[in-house]
Amino acid sequence: MSNSRHFRLILASASPRRAEILRHAGFSFVVRPCRVDESIRGGESAARHVARLAREKALACAKRVSGPAIILGADTVVVLGRHILGKPSSPANARHMLRLLSGRTHRVLTGIALLRLASDGRTRVLSAVESTRVTFAPLGAREIAAYVSSGEPMGKAGAYAIQGRAGRFVTRIEGCYFNVVGLPLSRLCRMLRAMRV
């Protein structure tokens, strides 16, 4: 889009990790977090869940923004078999999640939605879901307890932060590393280019 330089990039997320990824990649943006109900709907797949929440966050943010702007919504979950693991609700829940992940391969799914608000009020939405496979080493009870007591698992999908202390648990990763952190950077850049055509 020829007038893309006139569009502000707005991150509709309170995640410091997403903001850090954007900042380190050289993006100029503002943060406008928007809360939405993150409950999983009956029969909803993990991919549809993260895609829906990313879109809902972008749309909720758009109600408080006057254009022109490009709003970025995102949501991340960890998937192990039929289990969809979001943010742990308690330290006990975090320990349970880490026991499930111990010695196994899981997928990290991030839904991202870009909503373009034009000055004439027109909107355009572009959505995608990125998937990365992550394998954990077997974790002992004491190792899990020590990690949970650090406080790092709270507020993280699947109860871990690959860029933090949990990096020592990871034996293999297939796909985008930044997706596991919470924002698939390469996919986002491709979407931004497509949005500006």
Give the residue numbers annotated as catalytic, written as ranges: 75
Q: How many CA atoms lie within 13 A of 18 on its CB side?
A: 24
Q: CA 177, 130, 27, 72 torsion: positive or negative? A: negative
E strand residue ranges, 52-178? 69-80, 83-85, 105-117, 123-136, 170-174
Strand partners, 193: none
End-to-end CA distance of the chain: 4
Tokens of 33: 């977090």
Contact 8, 31 (CB under 8 A): no
Q: Which amino acid belongs to residue 186? A: S
Collapse the DSSP code of 128 into the 3-class scheme (helix H, G, I; strand E, B; otherwise coil) and give the result: strand
